[in-house]
Every structure is written in structure tokens, then in C-alpha cells.
Amino acid sequence: MRRKIVAGNWKMNKNVIEAQQLMTQLLEYTMSNKSNCEVWIAPPSLYLMMAKDVFENDEIGVFAQDISTHESGAYTGEISVDMLESIDADGTLIGHSERRQYHGENDESCNKKVKLALDKGLIPVYCNGETLDQRKAGQHFDVVKTQTETALFTLSAEEIKKVVIAYEPVWAIGTGETATPEQAQEIHAHIRSSIAEKYGQEVADEVSILYGGSVKPDNAKEIFSQPDIDGGLIGGAALKVEDFSKIIEGFN
């Protein structure tokens, strides 16, 4: 059975006091409310050890927002998989659209990062998705399939089952635009079909695919009800417990 997940990407937000307050509020919520999904957060790297301390009983999964393609060395500002392993982090985002847009991330580098994460027992959350121009040109199916193949299809069947995919329609991130549940389901089904072509349906049915396009409290339940959507990678709404908790309750 595929795992159901609501993951919050904090991006570059919150000072240390605000971060601690938000973590404490999230802990209180999860301790008081039974959810039907796993809850993960990806705070700025500065707060990863704090998060592991706050969530010491693993109530909430703690993920980095990115990792280096290098294991160690003279790479100022980078975070290695060994560093994440040493603090018992659960995993990392890889290939987020903002990393692609602002830092030149591509699917070849994502492939390296996915392999490094898996080698250390970390969960890679691989992000893909098309731009507005690509969607308008009718290229979205081909774009997402190529991204998935390049970044993931060098993995074994057992390895790819450990990967979580987050489909991000880039045109719907931070724009107020949201793909309809039907549009999101269509792409999720296409991604799963691409995996099935390579690895077989049984393997494809074990891969969790999250939707990362402006999930909100008022649309979460409908989006999560789609058969190939296994949760969400949440941006802005993850910064407020009242919004994030309502999204989590979309699985109830």
C-alpha cells in the first residue's frame, strides 16, 4: 500500500524563534490529532537539528531542501548526505522547481543526488513538472516523462520504490493558480504509467506521487481523493499551523 504524505517545504522562511514556535505548534497538533497520512517538513538547513530535537520520537519526518552532488570536499555552502545521515534526517527534496530556476539544477544532477540519498538510506523526494510555456505548447506529458526517465530510470526496481515523486506544475507555484484535480490526476497517472512501462505495474503501484501545486485547505480533500495522488508537497500553507493542519485533515 502506498504511503500517504503531506510534506511542508518551508523554503527560505522563518527566523530561529519563529521556526521553533512553528515546530512546537506542529508537535502539539500531531500529538493531539490522529492523521491518516505521514507528516513531513523541510525547514531551512539551519533548523534541521532543532527539528530532530523537537520531533525526537519521529512524529514528523525531517527533510532537507537540497543536497550536494558531492559526498564531501571544498564545496562551500553545500550539504552532504553524510551530514544528513549523521543527524538522523529522514530524507531530502531533490530538483525542486526553484532549485532548477535559480541554481541550474537539472535531471542529470538530480540523478546523482537521488543515488547518493538512497545509498545513505535517505528518502529522496524528487520534484518534476512543466512550465506554463510547456503546458501551453502541449508538451507537458513529454516533459514530465523525460524528467522522470532521466532522473530515476537508472535505479533498480527496489530503489525506485523508495523514491517519492512530487509533481509540481511550475505555473501553479506561488501564482495563486491551481491545476484542477482532474489535470493533476491526469499527470500523476501519466507518471505512474511511465514507471510501469519501465518497471512493471506492481512496482509503479508502490511509488508515492505527491502534488505540489498550491494545495490549500479548501481544495486538499478533493485533490487527495484522486486515485493517483498520494498527498501534497505544500509551500506557503505549510508556514501556518492552522492551514497546514487543515490540509493534513484532507486525508480524514
Pairwise CA distance, residues 103 & 84, whole Å:
21
Query: Hey, which CATH number is domain 5-251, 3.30.565.10, 3.10.310.30, 3.20.20.70, 3.40.190.10?
Result: 3.20.20.70
Helix axes 140-152, 107-119, angle to 10 degrees: 40
pLDDT at 170: 87
pLDDT at 39: 97
Q: In which region does residue 125 sit, left (phi positive, over 0), alpha (psi from -120 to 50) or beta (all else)?
A: beta
Integer CA distances (angstroms), 179 to 72, 82, 106, 170, 227, in order: 39, 37, 24, 10, 16
Please count the CA atoms within 13 angstroms of the CA of 145 that sit on its side-chain side: 12
Domain boundaries along the sequence of the chain: 5-251
Pairwise CA distance, residues 244 & 99, whole Å:
23
Using alpha carbons, select from 40, 42, 46 the residue that is nearest to residue 16: 46
Torsion of CA 198, 171, 101, 110, to 10 degrees: -20
pLDDT at 7: 98
Pairwise CA distance, residues 63 & 44, whole Å:
9
Q: Which residues are catalytic?
A: 96, 168
Residues of the binding site: 9-11, 174, 214, 235-236
Residues of the binding site for substrate: 9-11, 174, 214, 235-236
pLDDT in tens, the chain (252 residues): 799 999 999 999 999 999 999 999 999 999 999 899 999 999 999 999 999 999 987 789 999 999 999 999 999 999 999 999 999 999 999 999 999 999 999 999 999 999 999 999 999 999 999 988 898 899 999 999 999 999 999 999 999 999 999 999 988 776 666 678 999 999 999 999 999 999 999 999 999 999 998 789 999 999 999 999 999 999 999 999 999 999 999 998
Q: Is residue 61 within 8 Å of 91, Cβ to Cβ? A: yes
pLDDT at 143: 96
pTM beyond 0.85, yes or no: yes
